[in-house]
Every structure is written in structure tokens, then in C-alpha cells.
Chains A and B, each alone.
Chain A
Amino acid sequence: MNWAEFFAMNGYGFYVWGSYGVALAVIAIEIIAVRHRRTLALRQLKLMNDSGDAQ
């Protein structure tokens, strides 16, 4: 089972890996986006807490 033949998908490689590639990319981007949103929310909270303590 050589890898070159595997990736070629006897000619349909572009379509198969094109769809899986984009699907995995979309999932990865979504994971990153959700993590990023969480850090933003926490940073906002820290700001509010610090300003809260400062008063």
C-alpha cells in the first residue's frame, strides 16, 4: 500500500482531499474561534473585576 497511490485516489485525489481538507479546516477554525471567544470573555471579566476592586 504505497502512499503515493493512496493520495492519488486513482485520479480523484483532488476531490476527495479537497472535501476532507476543507471540512477539517472548517472544524479547526471553529474550535479556534470558540476558544478565542472564551479568552475574550474572560479578559473582559478580568477588566471588570480589576476596575471593580479598584473602586
Chain B
Amino acid sequence: MAINWFKYSAPSTFYGLAGKLIPFFAWPAAVLFAIGLYIGFFVAPTDAIQSEAYRIIFIHVPASILSMFIYLIMAGYAALGLIFKTRLSSMMATALAPTGALFALISLWTGALWGKPMWGAWWVWDARLTSELILLFLYLGFIALHASIEDPRRADKASALLAIIGSVNVPIIYFSVKWWNTLHQGSSIKFSGTTMHVAMQQAMFTILVACWLYVIAMGLARVRSIILEREANTQWVKELQEAK
């Protein structure tokens, strides 16, 4: 029985599948998040230099990693939608953008709150933080462009092109900001230097996986709403029992 992968690439079949999948991602995400927090706060020891403030990295690092990867995945879906003209891929890209932007926001916020006790300033023009800020602008550009075009098909294609250009520029921006940062500030501040205690790594990894599951669940949930909005006048949507 060859699995017909393309069976689920049509919005109508994907809608039902996504509906079933969401709980399988959402609940494990919540559980893992709780476990991660527990390890982070109760198992991980106090850091020699930063005492308790370092615990912020358990949410800061996953958020930064995710904000970067979600952008690349978004650009990937956008490229798929542009090349193969599959509407669902473009819908997935649009569905992921807000979550990515929010993670960039969380990363910036927690970075600032971590920077204050450690480096004495709310905002430090550190290469990573600055690139994160620019990444947030790229997200906002994507969302703004998509929102300002009425025709969904043109909106998808235009924002897809922007996402692809953006993803090509992310490394260039990161390189130039890093180059600029080391030029003005000498070596950027390293994280406390001590190798991370195994419990710290476990906590961070658990929360990272939890965030991944959360992003998938959120993406699926949002894409279902987008499908409902876009395919409103199709026959299969009319027959949906929740639309009665």
C-alpha cells in the first residue's frame, strides 16, 4: 500500500488531518515545558558567576533558535508554494509567521532582562541581539506585506518572494553585524565560560523540544483557520459539520 503523500497536500484533506494532529503536539509540548522548567529551576545548580539570573537562558536560547529556524522553514514553505503553486504551502508560511515573530520578541525581551543584571544595561548592541532585532523586522515586513495585499494569491506570492530574499540576507546580516560588533566592542561578552552543567543542558533541550512541538501545534491550528477563511465558498467547507 504505497502512501500517497500528495493526498494530504490538498487543503480539504489536510484540514481534517491537522485537526487530529494538534492534540498530539499541543499536550506533549505543555508537559515537556513543565518538565523543562522543573529541571531548570529545581535541579540545575546555581551558577558560580551569575547565581540565579542565568536561568533566563532556558527560555532565551530556545526562543532565539526557534525564531531563526521558523523563519527558514517559513521561507521553505514560501518557496514550495511559489514553485509548485501549492496553496497549502503558502498558507503554512503565513501561518508560521506570527509565531516566529512572537518568538523573536520573546528572545529580545528575555535577552534584555538577562542583560540588565549581567551587563548592567537593558539593551546591549551584542551581535546576536542586534541580528535578532533585524530578524524581527524581517518578520514584520513579511506579515505587513501579506496583510496589505487583498488578493490572497498575490499576497502569498509577494510575501513568499520576500521571505526567500530575507532568508538569503539573514547570514549576510548576521556576518556584517558580528563584524560591526567586534569592531566596536572588542570581544563580545561570552556566557560565564564554565561548561554548562548537565542539568542545565537537559533543561534547555527539554524546553527547546517543547517549544518546537508548540510551534507545530500553533502552525497547524492557525493554518486550519486560514483554510476556513480562504476556502469558505468551497463545497467541502460548506458540508463541514462545525460550519452548520
For the complex with contacts A20-B56, A30-B98, A30-B218, 19 further pairs of A-B residues with Cβ separation under 8 Å are A15-B117, A18-B113, A19-B59, A20-B37, A20-B59, A22-B109, A23-B59, A26-B102, A26-B105, A30-B99, A30-B102, A34-B218, A38-B228, A41-B225, A41-B228, A42-B228, A44-B229, A45-B237, A45-B240
Which chain A residues numbered 1 to 29 have a C-beta less than 8 Å away from chain B? 6, 9-13, 15-16, 18-20, 22-23, 26-27
Whether, in the assembled complex, B73 has its beta carbon less than 8 Å from a beta carbon of chain A, the answer is: no
Closest A residue to B105 using CB positions: A26
Give the interface of B toward A (CB within 8 A). Answer: 37, 41, 51-53, 55-56, 59-60, 63, 98-99, 102, 105-106, 109-110, 113-114, 116-117, 214, 218, 221-222, 224-225, 228-229, 232-233, 237-238, 240, 242-244
The minimal Cβ–Cβ distance linking A9 to chain B, given in whole angstroms, is 4
Query: Are A15's CB and B63's CB within 8 A?
Result: no
Q: How far is the CA of A35 from the CA of B22 in the complex (A)?
A: 13
The minimal Cβ–Cβ distance linking B213 to chain A, given in whole angstroms, is 12
Give the interface of A toward B (CB within 8 A). Answer: 6, 9-13, 15-16, 18-20, 22-23, 26-27, 30-31, 34-35, 37-38, 41-42, 44-46, 48-49, 52
Q: How far is the CA of A18 from the CA of B244 in the complex (A)?
A: 44
Query: Are B106's CB and A22's CB within 8 A?
Result: yes
Listed by A's residue number, 25 A-B pairs whose Cβ atoms lie within 8 Å are A9-B52, A11-B51, A12-B51, A15-B53, A15-B116, A15-B117, A20-B59, A22-B106, A22-B109, A23-B106, A23-B109, A27-B214, A30-B99, A30-B218, A34-B218, A35-B221, A38-B224, A41-B225, A41-B228, A42-B242, A45-B238, A45-B240, A46-B243, A48-B232, A52-B238
